A and B are shown apart, each in its own frame.
Chain A
């Protein structure tokens, strides 16, 4: 079993629009996909994680490219994106919705599509699921401690956060860069993440993240024909530039390593909890229709 799940192809890519790259985390793939979708009538709304003061994440239904851009950039904390899913169909009257989410959020959405018990008139309106790579997330106060105490930066001064090269990085509006070893952030991880075995959002149409590609680029995993169609169109029409993924140690190699590490580490935690008689998450492979 491929630790990356099922997929048709993997590439490195980045948006060509400078506006996106200015605000993006890496290659700006999520923003580019949603903006392309909105501008070409493939989507009429996108469920994204926007933010308020002090990096507080706010789930939002974006219906314009500007709103998508505003929500660009990773928030290293819990953002319940799916809580606005119904709003997207009702208040926002969307009929072609794109959803971006962490692997667990993509799993939730797939379950809601297979068993739409509480979601009247949703099933035919989800047009695209974009997953982002995720090892673990942090509760808001956990992220606050990492930034303010471990990195010594006030949250209100932060313009970007990043995880890479074994460290948690914080970029301030004054141009400073502070970092702390990832090891130090472990105590602040959300413990419910430790029973998840999905690093690359295996149930999405497209999965993307920085791991496996050079700085400023993102790895894009194209999993099915829906993902393939939109990415190919975007490449053709010049919204994305691409390069082949590095098959070696610093490309696919590290991506597969991290995916496998998450599975192995967290399977151990799952077994540990089972021994304690605690409930563990159910198996999800049946959710891909």
Chain B
């Protein structure tokens, strides 16, 4: 009988640990994922004017601050019944895509790839981005270029790369000039190339490690994501749940999320465990993020990414339930984000000056949802008649995945111990 503790969890954003309890025969009987960080943003935005919350909630996360900024402002727009202009919507979407490109490149190349490129048995001291500087400098250069491109888009439209400021209720406080748009257009084809190469890279990595991908962390869950007309969407649309066997699809608008998503408290963790209400806990645990998106969408609206998604389904099935397939899915999303970025840059409305409408603060309740790099991000605010926030609920992307992560860990631990 014993306990294994893996602490702290590394190469993630945040704090966590894993504890594994083993019985006398050496079998794992309990696997727990502890997330050990809380700062209480939901509480301290209460009492603030709602239009100022989007600039504060970015500090929830230093990597995906832009999705927080946008989900927050969408919640305020919804609470105050504001219709933004088409140009403002496109600029906000472009800002989101910039952050998806930076974050997916960071996540895969800086954090995850060392295990695959350098090998899982390499000395941990070099099995990190430091090792890549030596072993794969060319690959790292492309990853840096992707990150720089993504951050530059956020900087130009959001005002700052880290913790943007320009999304306001009613639209956006900044427009994109033609020179800025032209500069990005000059670089976008190279970025699409790099994203394509990333997909090729993960395909070759998967071939090498396919037995691991198809055996560790393989669990069945529901899947949740945003679709627009059934297609993969980062910025807007409706939410769709997919059943573990892939047969049932349930769709609902953002505003009704509380009818479908419940939150369960567990004593060993600082986060609530969300689950699909119609099925209950724990059968209703679900996954969000790139893997889920590959499953729930009917297709990806951009051609190269859609081709890559079809290949993905051929390899992993539909729905794909392998946790390690997230990396492949993530890089397909990177490609989709780059392609969609080009579409928006070529859209003449992207340089429009018509990006703001009048806003009247009032009592209301609004839900804002976007696809953050790690999945569905929900901000829900209630305001009083002065436009002051009286209640706030935020479900960050990773939170949806925590129960599933724990299950996947359990499955992986049991598999490993079997061998």
Which residues does A use to contact B, with CB under 8 Å? 90-91, 93, 120-121
A93 CA to B175 CA in the complex, in Å? 12
A91 CA to B161 CA in the complex, in Å? 13
Find out whether the CB atom of B160 lies under 8 angstroms from the CB atom of A93: no
Find out whether the CB atom of A93 lies under 8 angstroms from the CB atom of B156: yes
**Given known contacts A90-B156, A91-B174, A120-B161, what 10 new A-B pairs fall within 8 Å (CB)?**
A90-B155, A90-B159, A90-B160, A91-B159, A93-B156, A93-B177, A93-B179, A93-B180, A120-B160, A121-B155
User: How many chain B residues have a CB neighbour from A under 8 Å?
Assistant: 9
Secondary structure class of chain B's binding surface, majority of residues: loop
List, in ascending order, chain B residues with CB within 8 A of A91's CB: 159, 174
A93 CA to B174 CA in the complex, in Å? 12
Give, as a whole number of angstroms, the nearest-CB distance from B297 to chain A.
35
A120 CA to B152 CA in the complex, in Å? 12
List, in ascending order, chain A residues with CB within 8 A of B180's CB: 93
6 smallest CB-CB distances across A and B, nearest first, come from A90-B159, A93-B180, A91-B174, A90-B155, A93-B179, A93-B177
List, in ascending order, chain A residues with CB within 8 A of B174's CB: 91
> What per-residue 1/0 map shows which CB atoms of B174-190 lie under 8 Å from chain A?
10010110000000000
> What per-residue 1/0 map shows which CB atoms of B236-254 lie under 8 Å from chain A?
0000000000000000000
List, in ascending order, chain A residues with CB within 8 A of B161's CB: 120
Residue of B nearest to A87 (CB): B159
List, in ascending order, chain B residues with CB within 8 A of A93's CB: 156, 177, 179-180
Give, as a whole number of angstroms, the nearest-CB distance from B19 to chain A.
40
13 residue pairs of the A-B complex, CB under 8 angstroms, read: A90-B155, A90-B156, A90-B159, A90-B160, A91-B159, A91-B174, A93-B156, A93-B177, A93-B179, A93-B180, A120-B160, A120-B161, A121-B155
A90 CA to B180 CA in the complex, in Å? 11
List, in ascending order, chain A residues with CB within 8 A of B156's CB: 90, 93
Which residues does B use to contact A, with CB under 8 Å? 155-156, 159-161, 174, 177, 179-180
Give, as a whole number of angstroms, the nearest-CB distance from A83 to chain B.
15
Give, as a whole number of angstroms, the nearest-CB distance from A1 to chain B.
41
Residue of A nearest to B175 (CB): A91
A93 CA to B161 CA in the complex, in Å? 14
Residue of B nearest to A121 (CB): B155
A121 CA to B162 CA in the complex, in Å? 12
List, in ascending order, chain A residues with CB within 8 A of B159's CB: 90-91
List, in ascending order, chain A residues with CB within 8 A of B160's CB: 90, 120
List, in ascending order, chain B residues with CB within 8 A of A90's CB: 155-156, 159-160
List, in ascending order, chain B residues with CB within 8 A of A121's CB: 155
Give, as a whole number of angstroms, the nearest-CB distance from B178 to chain A.
11
Give, as a whole number of angstroms, the nearest-CB distance from B335 to chain A.
27
Scoring A90, A120, A121 by chain B CB atoms within 10 A of each residue's CB, the highest score goes to: A90
A90 CA to B174 CA in the complex, in Å? 10
Residue of B nearest to A90 (CB): B159
List, in ascending order, chain A residues with CB within 8 A of B177's CB: 93
Residue of A nearest to B174 (CB): A91
A36 CA to B161 CA in the complex, in Å? 32
Give, as a whole number of angstroms, the nearest-CB distance from A72 to chain B.
25
Give, as a whole number of angstroms, the nearest-CB distance from A121 to chain B.
8
Give, as a whole number of angstroms, the nearest-CB distance from B215 to chain A.
45
Give, as a whole number of angstroms, the nearest-CB distance from A117 to chain B.
14
Residue of B nearest to A89 (CB): B155
Give, as a whole number of angstroms, the nearest-CB distance from B56 to chain A.
17
A90 CA to B313 CA in the complex, in Å? 42
A7 CA to B275 CA in the complex, in Å? 71
Give, as a whole number of angstroms, the nearest-CB distance from A13 to chain B.
34
List, in ascending order, chain A residues with CB within 8 A of B155's CB: 90, 121
A144 CA to B51 CA in the complex, in Å? 36
A124 CA to B161 CA in the complex, in Å? 17
A93 CA to B177 CA in the complex, in Å? 9
Give, as a whole number of angstroms, the nearest-CB distance from B175 to chain A.
9
Give, as a whole number of angstroms, the nearest-CB distance from B148 to chain A.
11
Give, as a whole number of angstroms, the nearest-CB distance from A87 to chain B.
9
Residue of A nearest to B161 (CB): A120
A120 CA to B179 CA in the complex, in Å? 21
Residue of B nearest to A93 (CB): B180
List, in ascending order, chain A residues with CB within 8 A of B179's CB: 93
A120 CA to B155 CA in the complex, in Å? 11
A194 CA to B161 CA in the complex, in Å? 39
Give, as a whole number of angstroms, the nearest-CB distance from A137 to chain B.
30
Give, as a whole number of angstroms, the nearest-CB distance from A185 to chain B.
40
Give, as a whole number of angstroms, the nearest-CB distance from A90 to chain B.
6
Give, as a whole number of angstroms, the nearest-CB distance from A32 to chain B.
26
A121 CA to B155 CA in the complex, in Å? 11
Give, as a whole number of angstroms, the nearest-CB distance from B356 to chain A.
15
A120 CA to B154 CA in the complex, in Å? 14
Give, as a whole number of angstroms, the nearest-CB distance from A265 to chain B.
42
A121 CA to B161 CA in the complex, in Å? 11
Give, as a whole number of angstroms, the nearest-CB distance from A86 to chain B.
9
A251 CA to B180 CA in the complex, in Å? 48
Give, as a whole number of angstroms, the nearest-CB distance from A120 to chain B.
7
